[in-house]
Amino acid sequence: MNMEARVGAVVEGGQRALNSAAAAAHGSILDAGARRFLQQQHNNSHQQHSQLGTIQQLLAGGVAGAFSKTCTAPLARLTILFQVQGMHSDVTALSKASIWREASRVMNEEGFRAFWKGNLVTIAHRLPYSSVSFYAYERYKSLLQSVLGVENHRGNGTADLAVHFIGGGMAGITAASATYPLDLVRTRLAAQRNTIYYRGILHAFHTICREEGFLGLYKGLGATLLGVGPSIAISFSVYESLRSFWQSKRPNDSTVMASLACGSLSGIASSTATFPLDLVRRRMQLEGAGGRARVYKTGLFGAFAHIIQTEGLRGMYRGILPEYYKGRHQFAA
């Protein structure tokens, strides 16, 4: 270590001498070059720290999301089981369904661990979805700012709102499309009851590609993409309206508490409005699963018409109660 220190001191001293001589000879040219070099090094260091912070945020968000999804997995599976009940069941028997009865059936017939069927895929889906969404949002935001000419102008509320809204919607569509096969596999694993057709994640991927082709992994994608825009629009507008109303009536309340409450209510409103699309998505994801015959042969809107005709408007909201409970649990957490 002492030898290395001495060598470092000699090199450093020689470098300083060379710099001094060069400065005496070239004056301001070297100063300008040095300033540019130092600025470049500072920018590179800042960018590296920023990237490191982003990675840490994504990892922390992924871990927190995985923990939250694991806690609410039983409710999520009950939601899926209710959503797909009308596909191959007698409609008259569905009127007797309840959360407690279905939970008891799962416990007695499949065991306690069955409440977490498909949860491993949910966890695997979380990090890539968050990463793609974050990266895509930053790219779309830069593109939109460039197109709208607001990249160097702050304070334009309308333009900033348009950038965030459109960029968020496009990022959501991109992330949903990129990770959709994982979501479909999760639905197929969670919808299995006593008969196990897919033995795991890899087996499900292999079986679906072999029996239904690669595009079989994207069944129901249309319903997913159709719901992104309305979900963001409803959630954002309800949140802003509730927050403005809250602040006008109770200006002294904690802003954190107000934001949490308004966020929870806006999420419930968004879930309620887009739940029929989510139900249709789940059912289309199960089309042809396990070698069963197809039920909805006329596309997305044909599926809507078929469900309303056979199950009524109430059929579009099967599973909405455990979805509400899941949202309330996540809010409390």
Distance CA 229, CA 164 (A): 13
Say what the pLDDT of residue 140 is.
Answer: 93
Q: What is the pLDDT of residue 200?
A: 93
State the pLDDT at residue 187.
96
Q: Residue 316: its pLDDT value, please?
A: 94
Q: What pLDDT shows up at residue 153?
A: 57
Q: Dump pLDDT digits (tens) for 34-80.
A: 444 445 554 554 555 555 566 777 777 778 888 889 999 999 999 99
Contacts 24+ apart (CB under 8 A), 63-70: 65/126, 65/127, 65/130, 66/122, 66/123, 66/126, 66/127, 68/330, 68/333, 69/119, 69/122, 69/123, 69/126, 70/116, 70/119, 70/123
Q: For the chain, which residues score pLDDT lower than 70? A: 1-54, 89-96, 150-157, 327-333
